């Protein structure tokens, strides 16, 4: 190109790259990365925006197609580690921040003009992959056809990475085969995508490889890439950053992709705390320590708890982000609690001391059937999982400000609105595993019923069907068993929703429970639905169509199978609408009409309402304001 035209000069080379069909070759014009490595040394510590190399002119577009792994989540409102670490690796290799553009797949769908960034970039990086099935409210993961479109649209070099390397089906659903079809990218990072990006930019084509990054690299890249959150469409108010403490797993369940990362490798507490500090500087207030197979094993030998490491981690996060609004976790292995009960109790108490209410520890029971447990190398029995449920309830099932809150004087307990419990277990059940039979469904129902009957709480029960990935023990069986049991699975799932989920939800979130900062997301059937930010947040429907994107405090008044009905907190009898009043159980149209006609009231008692729930916990009467 001629510099006099105002366009930058690019040293280009024509490379033969295998794309699309394995027997088809195409000539692709690509940036000459060899020139970019001039003056760079070692791990990239000598590179940067002022290094004088051609990385200064390199334009990069990162497209986030979202991820969902057994120990990693990145569907909005979550942002995973992948785009942040990739951005940090690019900066470490010498690419200036202003040359890095980040888009979510939903952002490309909403604004077709954003596809220009895909087309114009010298390097386009796609990040995505779903290795567990799920249903999502905040965003829609990229489908294979969209991923192919990204590769074909990119005029520069294209690279794909993330858990998509394990495979991709025709849809993001359970009971599917996931053998990866060729998605037409120039490069597929079969190791760590951030390491591949760093090496490709620093050393050119010959530098590309499938290596894994080390602790020092991820510690640098995690902080250097924090700036990318500002380009997320949910930033800053409705964005929660997934934090990685470790990867890999000491156990080898047949279906799971996490062991493919190897044995657990832990990041030291100061590196995670430093990442939180950097993210907080860019306006992030919501965090989830979700990228690990077992939070209790953090900082130990991969199996036994290390309470001291947990204390350093949690207290350090609170110190650098004192104004955080969410601090949750995800995975906790119940076998750790059973094998090391006292150390686990101490670790759970540390977590409950520092986290925010509504936290959930996902327990990978997967199946209560001993036959399925044996054939799939599952590491916890139903009896052991029940014991773990009991311990978490005892140590962390208290409500802030309640009479059971260990941090307040018992005589002043219950002086505050009822809140969600600090930390509860959630149960993961997986169907379609080897050895599954009709009795498997009975074993699972009996386990859940026992938890309920003995008075304990579960925040949620996650029931799904297996996805089969190459490299796992399930690859030989595939999704055959799951498909054979589709009808049985559907009946059983509905039964659990009706007989367990509904009464359990009422126990966890009794009427009058206050959910603070509920983000209003969508309208349906004359109601507005929203959720708090956090791990497995409760979906709550509020009467009326309210302005979306806002946050309000909500008091729960009724329950469904997986969601609740709420009203604004506090609900003012002198200003409440008919829909809000009739949402209260026991208040019908006639009673609500009488309340409206006879307003104003000096107190809630003056209204003479007779309901099965305590109105004083969430209803008030504000002075009636007359028009001038």
SS in 3 state form for 111-176? Answer: CHHHHHHHHHCCEEEEEEEECCCCCCCCCCCCCHHHHHHHHHHCCCEEEEECHHHHCCCCCCCCCE
Q: What is the pTM of this model?
A: 0.86
Look over the chain and give the mean of its residue pLDDT values, rounded to a whole number: 84
Residue 52, pLDDT > 60, answer no
More confident residue, 18 or 528: 528
Low-confidence winner among 27-31, 168-172, 203-207, 548-552 (lowest mean pLDDT):
27-31
Q: Where does residue 332 fall: left (phi above 0), alpha (psi -120 to 50 degrees), or beta otherwise?
A: beta
The yes-or-no verdict on residue 578 having pLDDT over 50 is yes
The predicted pLDDT at position 92 comes to 96
Residue 116 or 364, more confident: 116
- The residues, ordered by sequence, that sit 6+ positions from 122 with a Cβ below 8 Å of its Cβ are 10, 31, 58, 59, 60, 156, 157
Helix/strand/coil for 331:
strand
Token pair of 222 as six digits: 């995690």
Evaluate whether 343 touches 305 at the Cβ level (below 8 Å).
Answer: yes
- pLDDT > 90: what percent of the chain? 64
pLDDT of residue 415: 61
Residue 474 tokens read as 């399930």
Which pLDDT score is estimated for 467?
58
- pLDDT value of position 56: 76
What pLDDT, on a 0 to 100 scale, did the predictor assign at position 610?
Answer: 85
Confidence class for position 207, pLDDT limits 50, 70, 90? confident
- Cβ atoms 301, 355 nearer than 8 A: no
Confidence of residue 532 (pLDDT cuts 50, 70, 90): very high
- Which pair of tokens denotes residue 371? 């036959």
Give the range with max mean pLDDT: 17-31, 223-237, 601-615: 223-237
Pick from 418, 413, 581, 424: nearest CA to 513: 418
Q: Which two tokens stand for residue 577?
A: 């609408």
- Please give the pLDDT value at position 499: 94
Q: Residues 6 or more apart from 492 whose CB is under 8 A from it?
A: 441, 444, 445, 463
Tell me the residue ranges of DSSP E strands in 272-353. 286-291, 326-329
Please check the confidence at residue 613 and state whether its pLDDT lies above 50.
Answer: yes
pLDDT at 503: 95
Contact 622, 574 (CB under 8 A): yes
Looking at residue 616, its pLDDT comes to 87
Nearest Cα neighbor of 128 from 155, 114, 149 is 149
Contacts of 525 by beta carbon, 8 Å cutoff, 6+ apart = none
Of 320, 29, 1, nearest to 157 by C-alpha is: 29
Closest CA to 463 of 499, 424, 426, 505: 426
- CA–CA distance from 201 to each of 165, 190, 224 (Å)? 20, 17, 16
Tokens at 400, concatenated = 């802030």
pLDDT at 178 over 50: no
156 closest CA partner among 126, 112, 193, 199: 126
Query: What distance in Å separates the CA atoms of residue 355 and residue 353, rounded to the nearest whole number?
Result: 6
Q: Please report, for residues 84, 239, 244, 347, 529, the alpha-carbon distance to residue 143 in angstroms, rounded to integers and kept in the order given.
A: 22, 23, 26, 40, 26
Find how far residue 433's CA is from the centre of its chain.
24
Question: Cβ distance 280 to 223 under 8 Å?
Answer: no
**Mean pLDDT value across residues 16-20:** 31
Residue 159's closest CA among 26, 41, 32, 63? Answer: 63
Query: pLDDT-based confidence at 250, cuts 50/70/90?
Result: low
pLDDT of residue 624: 63
Residues facing 619 on adjacent strands? 571
Kindly tell me if the per-residue pLDDT of 137 is higher than 90: no
Mean pLDDT is lowest, of 37-51, 254-268, 410-424, for: 37-51
Q: What percent of the chain has pLDDT over 70?
A: 81
For residue range 292-344, what is the model confidence (pLDDT) as tens digits? 889 999 998 878 999 999 999 999 999 999 999 999 998 899 999 999 999 99
DSSP state, residue 226: G
Q: How many CB atoms lie within 10 A of CB 232?
A: 23
Nearest one of 222, 245, 355 to 292, comparing CA atoms: 245
* pLDDT tens digits along 544-571: 999 999 999 999 999 988 899 999 999 9
Residues 6+ apart with CB under 8 A from 533: 77, 238, 240, 286, 325, 326, 517, 519
pLDDT tops 60 at residue 164: yes
pLDDT of residue 507: 96
Examine the pLDDT at 412 and tell me if it is beyond 80. Answer: no
Strands 265-266 and 286-291: unpaired
3-state SS class at 513: coil
Residue 83 is predicted with a pLDDT of: 98
- Give the per-residue pLDDT at 133: 63
pLDDT at 414 over 80: no
Question: Can you tell me which residue has the tokens 């050895």?
Answer: 435
pLDDT above 90 (res 284): yes
Q: Are strands 539-543 and 563-568 parallel, antiparallel or unpaired?
A: parallel
**Which H or E element spans position 110?**
helix 105-110
DSSP string, 350-415: HHHHHS-TTEEEEEEEE---HHHHHHTT----HHHHHHHHHHHHHHH---TTSTT-TTS-GGGTT-
Q: Which residue has the higher pLDDT, 579 or 561?
A: 579
Domains delineated in the chain? 513-620 (1.10.150.320)
Q: Residue 2: its pLDDT value, please? A: 36
Judge whether residue 180 has pLDDT over 60. no
More confident of the two residues 196 and 431? 196
- Cis bond leading into 77, ω under 30°? yes
Burial of 211 (0-12, 13-18, 19+ CB in 10 A): middle
> φ and ψ at 98, to 5 degrees?
-70, -10
Residue 298 and residue 300: Cα distance in Å, rounded? Answer: 6
pLDDT in tens, 343-382: 999 999 999 999 999 999 999 899 999 999 998 888 899 9
Q: Report whether pLDDT(148) > 70.
A: yes
How high is the pLDDT of residue 377? 85
Say whether pLDDT at 126 is over 80: yes
DSSP 515-558: EEEEEEEEEETTEEEEE-SSSSPPEEEEES-PPTT-EEEEEEEE
- For tokens 């009427």, the residue is 511
For residue 130, pLDDT over 90 is answered with: no
Residue 474 banded pLDDT, cuts 50, 70, 90: very low
Q: Which residue has the higher pLDDT, 352 or 52?
A: 352
Lookup result for tokens 């099935």: 133
Rg (CA), the chain: 26
**For residues 244 and 247, what is the distance between their CA atoms, to the nearest angstrom?**
8
């Amino acid at each position: 190109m001629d510099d006099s035209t105002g366009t930058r000069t690019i040293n280009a080379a024509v490379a033969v790259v295998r794309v699309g069909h394995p027997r088809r070759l195409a000539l692709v014009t690509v940036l000459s990365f060899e020139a970019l490595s001039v003056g760079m040394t070692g791990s990239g510590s000598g590179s940067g925006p002022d290094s004088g190399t051609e990385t200064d002119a390199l334009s990069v577009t990162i497209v986030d197609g979202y991820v969902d792994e057994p120990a990693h989540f990145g569907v909005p409102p979550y942002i995973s580690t992948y785009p942040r670490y990739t951005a940090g690796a690019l900066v470490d290799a010498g690419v200036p921040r202003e040359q890095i553009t980040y888009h979510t797949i939903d952002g490309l769908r909403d604004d077709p003009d954003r596809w220009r960034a895909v087309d114009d970039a010298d390097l386009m990086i796609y990040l995505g992959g779903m290795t567990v099935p799920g249903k999502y409210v905040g965003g829609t993961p990229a489908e294979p056809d969209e991923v192919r479109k990204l590769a074909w649209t990119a005029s520069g070099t294209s690279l794909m990475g993330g858990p998509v390397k394990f495979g991709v089906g025709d849809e993001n659903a359970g009971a599917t085969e996931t053998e990866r079809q060729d998605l037409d990218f120039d490069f597929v990072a079969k190791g760590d995508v951030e390491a591949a990006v760093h090496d490709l930019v620093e050393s050119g084509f010959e530098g590309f490889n499938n290596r894994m990054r080390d602790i020092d690299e991820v510690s640098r890249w995690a902080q250097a890439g924090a700036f990318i959150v500002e380009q997320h469409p949910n930033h800053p108010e409705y964005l929660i950053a997934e934090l990685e403490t470790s990867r890999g797993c000491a156990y080898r369940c047949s279906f799971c992709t996490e062991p493919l990362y190897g044995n657990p490798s832990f990041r030291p507490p100061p590196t995670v705390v430093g990442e939180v500090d950097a993210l907080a500087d860019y306006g992030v207030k919501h965090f989830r320590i979700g990228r690990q197979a077992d939070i209790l094993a953090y900082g130990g030998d991969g199996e036994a708890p290390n309470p001291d490491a947990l204390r350093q981690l949690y207290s350090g996060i609170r110190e650098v982000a004192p104004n955080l609004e969410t601090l949750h976790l995800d995975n906790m292995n119940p076998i750790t609690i059973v094998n090391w009960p006292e150390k686990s109790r101490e670790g759970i108490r540390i977590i409950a001391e520092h986290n925010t209410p509504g936290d959930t520890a996902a327990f990978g029971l997967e199946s209560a059937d001993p036959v399925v447990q044996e054939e799939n190398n599952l590491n916890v029995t139903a009896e052991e999982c029940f014991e773990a449920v009991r311990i978490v309830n005892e140590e962390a099932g208290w409500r802030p400000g309640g009479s059971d809150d260990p941090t307040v004087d018992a005589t002043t307990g219950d002086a505050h609105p009822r809140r969600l419990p600090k930390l509860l277990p959630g149960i993961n059940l997986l169907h379609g595993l080897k050895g599954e039979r009709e009795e498997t469904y009975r074993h699972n129902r009996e386990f859940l019923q026992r938890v309920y009957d003995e008075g304990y709480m579960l925040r949620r029960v996650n029931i799904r069907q297996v996805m089969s990935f190459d490299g796992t023990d399930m690859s030989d069986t595939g999704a055959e068993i799951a498909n054979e049991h589709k009808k049985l699975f559907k009946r059983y799932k509905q039964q659990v929703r009706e007989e367990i989920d509904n009464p359990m939800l009422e126990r966890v979130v009794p009427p009058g429970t206050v959910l603070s900062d509920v983000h209003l997301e969508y309208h349906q059937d004359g109601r507005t639905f929203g959720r708090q930010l956090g791990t497995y947040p409760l979906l709550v429907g509020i009467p009326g169509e309210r302005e979306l994107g806002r946050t309000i405090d909500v008091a729960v008044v009724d329950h469904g199978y997986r969601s609740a009905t709420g009203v604004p907190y506090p609900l003012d009898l002198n200003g409440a609408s008919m829909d809000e009043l009739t949402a209260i159980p026991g208040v019908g149209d006639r009673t609500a009409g009488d309340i409206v006609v006879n307003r104003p009231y000096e107190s809630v008692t003056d209204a003479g309402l007779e309901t099965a729930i305590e109105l004083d916990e969430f209803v008030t009467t504000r002075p009636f304001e007359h028009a001038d």
